[in-house]
Amino acid sequence: MSVTPIILDCDPGHDDAMAIILAGYSPKIKLLGISTVSGNGAIEKVTENALRICTLAKINVPIAQGSGVSLLGAAEAATDIHGETALDGADLPAPAFALQKMSGVELIGKLVRESTEKVTLVATGPLTNIALFLKLYPELVTNVEQIVFMGGSASRGNRTPYAEFNIWMDPEATDVVLKSGLPLTMCGLDVTHQALVTKEVFGELEAMGTELSKKIIGLMKFFAKTYDEVFEMPDPPLHDPVAVAFLIDPTVVTCKFVNVEVELKGEFTRGATVVDLFDRGGGKRNCTVALNLDAPKFWKMMLDAVRAAGAAS
């Protein structure tokens, strides 16, 4: 069985937390470390959440705090979706281990440098740390296999009418990634809106009856409430684990290799990903875009990971 070494760059966040659990408990993923980035909440909050989720699920990997602002110095929080802590809905244990004494970008550099195999970077938050890594460590880029990110959309947005949240938070960083020349896979709203936390999923979580599954139910109930309030989606989309699931089994999604650009200047469209599905603009193909999800296959992977984590913790 081939095992993919990854670094997960994230902003936990309800769906990031589930991406951490999927990465931590899939036998096909070797989670080398976690870097955090400001997005769903301030950097201190999302970093604390990463530590708490890893403590809860007994995932013992190096974690480092990354960038608190975008490349242009901006920050905001998605409290309307993720609450004041950025991970509202369950009491999570105090962190049982300490942060690395280095920045998130330094941790990415260290792990990529030390790895004997090429490393896949998985980003489930704004792409700030990834762009900084590409700019600060150009000599290490040859040891990067690919970048898989949750973000963007081939249609409409969720932070603005056309911009998806992660890309909206740092369009300039997205531009660096899109121009990197590395193999890229974008798991945007097109595909993640098919990863719905349905009543059947809640039923499966309830049947597990572990301490972990009970906490996850609390988190998912909060997420379902805010998604219903904000987007009229009572079954919320579990965006971020789709990027990890793609690495576990690429057949979980169907994709198209196309040109993707990010809007940096649009009067109303800053942060929108411009996905040329039918090669109308003639731009160079630079990104594989996931468009359809095999939802039963996705949920089997996700729930198997929660089951394994629940047994271990």
Contacts with ligand BDR, residue ranges (CB under 6 A) = 13, 15-16, 40, 78, 81, 124-125, 150, 158, 164-166, 239-240
In the bound complex, what is the minimum distance in angstroms from residue 86's beta carbon to ligand BDR? 9
CA distance 278 to 276: 6
The one among 9, 14, 16, 82 contacting Ca ion by CB under 5 A: 16
Beta bridge partners of 253: 293
Residue 83 binding partner per list Ca ion, ligand BDR, none, with a CB distance cut-off of 5 to 8 Å that depends on partner kind: none
Looking at the Cβ atoms of 104 and 125, the one nearer to ligand BDR is: 125
Residue 78 binding partner per list ligand BDR, Ca ion, none, with a CB distance cut-off of 5 to 8 Å that depends on partner kind: ligand BDR
Looking at the Cβ atoms of 164 and 276, the one nearer to ligand BDR is: 164
Q: How many residues touch Ca ion (CB under 5 A)?
A: 6
For residue 38, the tally of other CB atoms under 10 A from its CB is 29
- Answer yes or no: are the C-beta atoms of 98 and 130 closer than 8 Å: no
In the bound complex, what is the minimum distance in angstroms from residue 16's beta carbon to ligand BDR? 5
Of 237, 258, 122, 146, the closest CA to residue 190 belongs to 237
Which active-site residues does the annotation give? Answer: 239
Q: Does 9 engage in binding with Ca ion (CB under 5 A)? A: no
| b/e sequence 129-165, b meaning 16+ C-beta within 10 Å | bbbbbbeebeebeebbbbbbbbbbbbeebbbbebbbb
Stretch that binds Ca ion, among 76-84, 117-125, 245-253, 302-310 (CB under 5 A): 117-125
Looking at the Cβ atoms of 13 and 104, the one nearer to Ca ion is: 13
- Answer yes or no: are the C-beta atoms of 100 and 109 closer than 8 Å: no
Residue 81 binding partner per list ligand BDR, Ca ion, none, with a CB distance cut-off of 5 to 8 Å that depends on partner kind: ligand BDR
Q: Which helix (H) or strand (E) holds 287?
A: strand 287-293
CA distance 8 to 115: 15
Residue of minimal CB distance from ligand BDR? 165
CA distance 239 to 276: 22
Q: Does 13 engage in binding with Ca ion (CB under 5 A)? A: yes
Residue 286 one-letter amino acid:
N
The one among 70, 124, 192, 226 contacting Ca ion by CB under 5 A: 124
Q: Which residues of the shown chain bind Ca ion in the complex (CB under 5 A)?
A: 11, 13, 16, 124-125, 240
